[in-house]
Amino acid sequence: MTGKVYLVGAGPGDLGLLTVRGGELLRRADVVVYDRLANPRLLDIYLRPGAERVYVGKASSQHTLAQDQINGLLVREAKAGKTVVRLHGGDPFVFGRGGEEALELVAAGIPFEVVPGVTSAVAAPAYAGIPVTHRGHNTSFAVITGHENPGKGVSTIAWDKLANGPGVLVFLMGLANLKLIVDELVKNGRPPSTPIAIIRWATWPCQRTLVGTLEDIVARVEVADFHPPAVIVVGSVVGLRDSLRWWDNRPLSGKRVLVTRSREQASVLAELLREQGAEPVEAPVLEIVPPESFDEMDRAIGQLENYDWVVFTSANGVKLFVDRLMSTGHDVRAFGSARLAAIGPATAQELRDRFLNVDFVPSEYVAEDVAAGLVGLGVSGKRVLLPRADLARDVLKVELEKSGAMVDAVVCYRTVPAREDLSRLASELAQGRIDVVTLASSSTARNLVSGLGEGALQLLSRPIIACIGPITAATAGELGLRVDVVAPEHTMPGLVEAIVKAIGE
C-alpha cells in the first residue's frame, strides 16, 4: 500500500507559528524530512517515539542532499507505505522547493497534500516591527528571490519595474547578493536614502535586525558581520520599526539561559523565559525516578485516613504520591478528613489539578515557614504524613516533632543525576554562549557541578548564577559558585522576574 507525502510549512522558526494542521501531521508521521530553517525542536515536541528524522538541510554552499536526491527519498519512503512529512522552513511554495517536490510526486503517482506555513516574507518584518503594508506608506509589496536559479543563465528580475513599482520590496535568501540588489535598485531609480532593514534568524530568540539606507547598508552589514539566513526589507515602512519593535526589545531578548531542571519539569521555566525574550538552553542534570521500594509509601497510603495532616513539599511529590495512590486501587477519598498543606503555589496547584483542596500554604515557600505555620495551627499530638524526596532536608520533620507532632516521612521519589552527556554544555559555557544559569534546587546545583567535572567552577564563573531561593543559594555557595541572583519569591515566575531585574540592572 502506497503512503502519502505532506509538504508542510514549519514557519520561520518561532515554535508558535506552526499551523494546527502541521502539528497534527507531525504527530502522525512515520518519517520527517526536514531542512535547515525548520526549527528542530518541533520534532522533539510533536514526533511520536520511533518516528524517523532525516535532515536534508542546505546552506548557500553546502547541501546535505541534492534536490533530486530529496525528491527520490520522498518517493521511496511513500512507496514503502509510510506517512511522510516534508517539513520546510517558512512556506513550501514561497521560494521553497515544494513545487518541484510535488511535481516529482505526481510523476511517481504518490498522493500528497500541501500545508501552507507562515512565510518569513511577512513574519520577519512583523517580528522586527515593520509592517509590509501601511496606509500611510504603501499600497503594495513584492516578494523577490535574492538568489535566482543559477541554471537560468539570465536574470528574470525586472529591476526597472521593481525599483519604481511596489512600495515595499522583500528579498528572501539575498544577503550574499546584497550589493547587487542595492546597486540594481539605485541604478534603476530607487533613491539611495531609501530605508532598508536586514533581519537575521527572524522569529528565533537570536533574531537581529540591522537598519540603514541603500547607500550605507552594505558597509553596515560588513561591520556587523551579518551572515545568512536573512530577510531584506526595502521601503519607508522600515522607519516604523522605532515605534513598533516588540520582539527584540523584551527584557531578556538575545540572552541564552540554562535550564537545569529535569526534562519533565523544564517546560514551565523554559516557556516563562521565552515570554521574556530569552532562548532557553535545556540541559537536565537530574531525573525524577520512583523509590527503590514502594513498601513504605504503600503502608502510608493504607492508613491515609488516620493522618491529620498530609504535607507536600514539591509538585513532584504530589504527582508521584497521588499516582501511586490511584495505581493501588484507591482514589482521593482515601485522604478522608486529613488536611493538606503545600510548600508553595506550584505544589498547591498540582493538588488542585487532582481535585484536592489545600488548607495551608505559607507566605514564604521554604520548609522553615511550612513548619512555623503548621505549629501555629496546632499540630501538637497530631499525626502528620510527609511524602518527600529521598534527599529532602530534615528540617520540617524535626521542627514538627519538636512541637509534639507524630511525623511519618516517606520517600515517594528519588532525584538522581541525569544520564546525559554535558560535554556540549561545557563547550557552550567555555565559548561564553550561556548568559544565565538557573538553579531550581540544591540537587540541580550539585549535579551540575559534578556533571561538568574538574573545570566546573571556571566554566560557571562568567554567566549570572540565579537560584530559586536561599537554600539553593547556600548549596551553590558551598560548592564554590558565585551566586548573583536569589529570587525573593521562591517560584518559577519569581525566579524569572529576579533574572529580568538583574539583567535590567
Give Cα 472 to chain centroid, integer Å.
24
Could you give the C-alpha distances from 340 to 29, 308, 328, 335, 347, in angstroms and in order? 44, 9, 21, 9, 11
Three-point CA angle 101, 105, 111, nearest 5°: 125
Q: Where on the phi/psi map is residue 201: left (φ > 0), alpha (ψ -120 to 50), or beta?
A: left
Task: Kindly name the residue from 173, 255, 397, 435 that is annotated as catalytic.
Answer: 173
Q: Quick one: which of 339, 362, 363 has its CA closest to 351?
A: 339
Cell matching residue 312: 507536600
Greatest CA separation for the chain = 91
Q: What share of the chain is helix, strand, coil (3-state, %, to 5)?
A: 40, 20, 40
For residue 272, give the C-alpha cell. Answer: 516563562
Question: Could you tell me the three cell numbers for 17?
Answer: 507559528
**Conformational region of residue 50, where left means phi above 0, alpha means psi within -120 to 50, and beta covers everything else:** left
Q: Cα Rg for the chain, rounded, in angstroms?
A: 28
Alpha-helical (H) ranges within 109-177 are: 120-127, 159-164
Active-site option among 14, 30, 35, 435: 35
3-state class (DSSP) for residue 101: helix
How far, in Å, CA of 72 to CA of 78, rounded?
A: 10
Neighbours of 276 (CB within 10 A): 17
Check: CB of residue 146 under 8 Å from CB of residue 177. Answer: yes
The three state secondary structure string of 294-316 is: CHHHHHHHHCHHHCCEEEECCHH
58 is catalytic: yes
Ramachandran angles phi, psi of 87, nearest 5°? -95, 110
Do the beta carbons of residue 170 and residue 144 sit within 8 Å? Answer: yes
Output the 3-class SS for 76-129. HHHHCCCEEEEEECECCCCCCCHHHHHHHHHHHCCCEEEECCCCHHHHHHHHCC
46 CB contacts (<8 Å, ≥6 apart)? 23, 26, 27
Catalytic residue among 4, 58, 359, 406: 58
Q: Give the cell for residue 261.
A: 531542571
**For 95-98, which contacts have Cβ atoms below 8 Å and span 24 or more sequence positions?**
95/143, 95/145, 95/172, 95/173, 96/9, 97/67, 97/70, 98/7
Q: Hey, which residues are catalytic here?
A: 35, 58, 173
